[in-house]
Chain A
Amino acid sequence: MNIWMLLGIIAMIFLVIFQIAKASEYVGVLKGEKKSREQSNKINAFLMIVFLVLGLAGAWWCNEVLAPETLFAQGSASKEGEQIDFMFMLTLLATGIIFLATQICLFVFSYMYQEKEGRKAFYLPHNNKLEIIWTIVPAIVLSVLVVIGLRHWFKITGDPPENAMVVEITGQQFGWTYRYPGPDGELGKKSYKLINIQNNGLGQDWKDKANADDVSPSKMYLIKDKPVKLVIGSKDVIHDVGLPHFRLKMDAVPGIPTTLWFTPKWTTKEMQIKLNKPDFEYEIVCDQLCGASHYAMRGIIEVVTQQEYDVAMAKLKPNYYAAFPDKDPAASQPAAKADTTAPKTVAMVTKR
């Protein structure tokens, strides 16, 4: 019922506006074409200035209210992101000047040169000097932005520092799986054909010894000030590892692994104190539409100190033991169980 009332009201308002508009047309005819045009011209010219002034004031106010809400107010949580923030500010400065200059010209000219009795338009078809200037100046400004941008682009898309740790992150509908290489420092081989959703979600190849100690925590643990290289993959459709606090993102594409590296600056705890938000968490945001629950594809990064990291890692059980519970030294189960699990994995693959 509510909606119909609302629609009714809107229809009424329309009717009123329409009647006024119609009436003003008749009045215009009575007053004479010229006279009524002069009148509406004056009003519209005046509104140009009103719009400019209110618009700029509005933009300023919008900035006052919203800028503190953006992540820029917090500063970049990665070292590499600092340069991105700097580039943003620089680009904002350059475009801001052009924005103000052109918008002011646009609306002020419109106001100043409104039709007036006796005014003659200035016949000015072209002016080569002016045109050359405003071709070259933007070209130079843009070149500067390109050079600064590309230097950073090559840095962050280049090789990570030697001491970087490696974390694998795999997307699927609708969640993230992380994998750490374990003490041997090597991620074991995997294949999508070996995936078994009961106990081998990543399709790790158990014949590869490097897999024996790989672990998959439920959060991504990173170490403060230690560069990390993410090896990114997807099991099904394209996802995207979005890291807004760190100013980075990279697609997760099935069949084509991608990488991304950065250096976290602040631990999660430090951020909680800094922002005075005890429940602060670094969130991993899926940035590529991947299906109905795309909006809920959330991951957590916890940035910790080296010590905390070592403690957290020591608590984790290798994925291998999930696939072969009987081999788990912590559990005391009969050995026969292993035989039932291993063939099951194979069966999964051959099942068509």
Chain B
Amino acid sequence: METTLNMPGTVALPDVHHGEEHEHHHHHESFISKYIFSQDHKTISKQFLITGIIWAIIGGLFSVLFRLQLGYPDSTFPWLEDILGRWAPGGKLSAEFYYALVTMHGTVLVFFVLTAGLSGTFSNLLIPLQIGARDMASPLLNMLSYWFFFAAGVVMLSSLFIQTGPFSGGWTAYPPLSALHDASPGSKLGVDLWITSMALFVVSSLLGGLNYIVTVLNMRTKGMTMTRLPLTIWAFFFTAVLGVLSFPVLFSGFILLLFDRNLGTSFYLSDIFIQSTERALPNEGGSAILYQHLFWFLGHPEVYIILLPAMGMASEILSTNSRKPIFGYMAMIGSLFAITILAFLVWAHHMFVTGLNPFLGAVFVLLTLLIAVPSAIKVFNWLTTLWRGNIRFTPAMLFAIGFVSLFISGGLTGIFLGNSALDIHLHDTYFVIAHFHIVMGVASFFGMYAGVYHWFPKMFGRQLNNTLGYVHFWGTIVCAYCIFWPMHYEGLSGMPRRYYDFSQWKTFNQFGELNKFITIVSILSFALQILFVFNFFYSIFKGRKLQTKNPWNSNTLEWTTPINAGHGNWPGEIPEVHRWAYDYGKDGVDHIPQTVPVGAHESKDH
């Protein structure tokens, strides 16, 4: 029933681990060089993924703890005191620790999970495999990228155990709160550790990003022109460009913050009288707003750093499982490009109510709403890709469809927020929380899950359990909407984010029951993710073994490598590419891999 053109490139090559071709890559591998300080991009990708999963569990657990406080502000949980000690006296989180949890949750999820865990994993895995390269341009820097990330994690984790507690000023770390030791306990040593960790993280991102860019530009196999690249690669490429251009700005912002904190400079400080010490500070002439510009110059691109890989993977998976080419390939690249450019020009939409010059604000409104256009194009193109397809609902496909749904829901609320006059009401309320959790948090998680389910066989040579995948998907999408959809209404009441307790507020205390509901669902949702983690680790060792090299009948190059390919990826020569990645259903042929030369009678379309 299915017809595959079987051409030289797809013929199974003997799975020799030490082919002569790449003898020079590794002579004999010890356990350490194979699994720990490995320079094989595939191993590094697994390291990023597993570290990311561990951080996701930690970050998720933080949110469960602070949701308990929000859902049950009047209850005490004695076991909390057992595990947290003085941070939860009498079984109730202290306000200070609540804010520390919120801060750590944001930082960990945004940077460690959805940046390193997502783009670190899949850029590493797929760039060499899909462009036809034996490894990254610099495997050594690639390995260092992981270890800097690891070190960043160690430092962040250590801040949980210090006397004055972890940083508690929000993942955006606005000074003066983050700059003044006396402004809050979390602003003491906790911030220094937080900044150190983030600085290490920036180094990791830059090492990774530069590598990805160079690899994509220089190491494509014969015939792999830029316009034949799968959209995954385009997405990873733009992601890396965003990171390389914006992380250094964040870095400079952090360094100035460190100076203000410890060396008595006044970049961000002026006119300050600290209540707790009854002291007027000597700092003059600084601007607290300067930091926000530096932060959001990364901060906004960062949200796209998180989103683009998910977009790329969703495009690839939607096309493969619809058995249809992605609709509007060039428009997809064009919109990725437009998003990348515009992502650098919209940062001040996070600062509409800081006293920003109104004219400047207006420019940012215009540019912000402009970025909705390429986003809309992408959505329409995904929908058209599904249209008249022949859809297979693998777990990866389900998550890709869920991604589109969430991206629509969350993207549309961006249109409310991007209009400054409306944002004056909505800024820093639960409306914003709902917006970015749906469009970035959950949507990118869905993109990541789609990627894991789709490429798990490539990573581990085994299959994940499908039934668990289905349960995971349907449960998670229902939970995600139940948690975040009602939050829009809380935001419309002006209910502020980052509040420890709403019960004394007349304007917000009507939402007590709703907050309880949200808490219960988020615990459920956390449990579902644990189910996935279980499936993941179980299947690495006990999953069904892969029978064929190309389980999804996919066109891209990674499926031409042997199951459990060694370092160097292809035992023989790297295959040559003759066509784009999306010839699904062309001329009635189910799929034509990229390695197949264009036939004499093939229609010219595309």
Contact = CB atoms under 8 A, between A and B. Distances in A.
Interface of A: 2-3, 10, 14, 17-18, 20-22, 24-25, 28-29, 37, 40-41, 43-45, 47-48, 51, 55, 58-59, 62, 66-67, 69-72, 81, 83-84, 87-88, 91-92, 94-95, 98-99, 102-103, 105-107, 109-110, 113-117, 119-127, 130-131, 134-135, 138-139, 142, 145-146, 149-150, 152-154, 156-158, 172-173, 192-193, 195, 197, 203, 235-238, 240, 242, 244-245, 247-251, 253-256, 258-259, 277, 279-281, 283, 285-296, 298, 348-349, 351-352
A30 to B, nearest CB: 13
Contacts of B504: 296, 298
B477 to A, nearest CB: 7
Given A114-B393, A197-B275, A126 B492 contact: no
Given A69-B510, A124-B325, A250-B355, A91 B428 contact: no
A293 B323 CA distance: 56
A293 B324 contact: no
Contacts of A95: 412-413, 415-416
B177 A71 contact: no
13 contacts: A22-B465, A37-B392, A88-B425, A88-B492, A103-B405, A115-B323, A120-B390, A124-B384, A235-B272, A236-B176, A238-B174, A250-B424, A253-B289
Interface in B460-488: 465-468, 470-471, 474, 477-478, 481, 485-486
Interface stretch (B46-54, B221-229, B360-368, B444-452): B360-368
A144 to B, nearest CB: 10
User: For A2, A102, A158, A240, which residue has the most chain B Cβ atoms within 10 angstroms?
Assistant: A102
A67 B101 CA distance: 30
A3 to B, nearest CB: 5
Given A17-B531, A95-B412, A292 B184 contact: yes
A156 B507 CA distance: 24
Nearest to A197: B278
Contact of A105 (B170, B323, B383, B398): B383
A149 B365 contact: yes
Given A95-B415, A149-B422, A254 B176 contact: yes
Interface of B: 1, 77, 79, 94-96, 99, 168-170, 174-177, 180, 183-185, 269-276, 278-280, 282, 286-289, 322-331, 353-355, 358, 361-362, 365-366, 369-370, 372-373, 376-377, 379-384, 386-393, 398, 401, 404-405, 408-409, 412-413, 415-416, 419-422, 424-425, 427-429, 465-468, 470-471, 474, 477-478, 481, 485-486, 489, 492-494, 496, 498-502, 504-507, 510-511, 514, 527, 530-531, 534-535, 544, 582, 584-588, 605-606
B358 A158 contact: yes
B377 A123 contact: no
A62 B589 CA distance: 47
B219 to A, nearest CB: 27
A293 B420 CA distance: 28
Given A146-B419, A256-B355, A285-B496, 18 more contacts: A24-B467, A41-B391, A43-B470, A44-B393, A88-B492, A99-B409, A113-B389, A120-B390, A124-B324, A126-B327, A126-B329, A153-B419, A238-B288, A240-B353, A245-B507, A258-B354, A288-B428, A293-B95
Contacts of B507: 71, 244-245, 283, 285
Nearest to B603: A123
A138 B276 contact: no
B273 A295 contact: no
Given A47-B474, A280-B506, A25 B183 contact: no
Contact of A124 (B79, B99, B388, B415): B388
User: For B323, B391, B412, B535, which residue has the most chain A Cβ atoms within 10 angstroms?
Assistant: B391
Nearest to B331: A131
A125 B422 contact: no
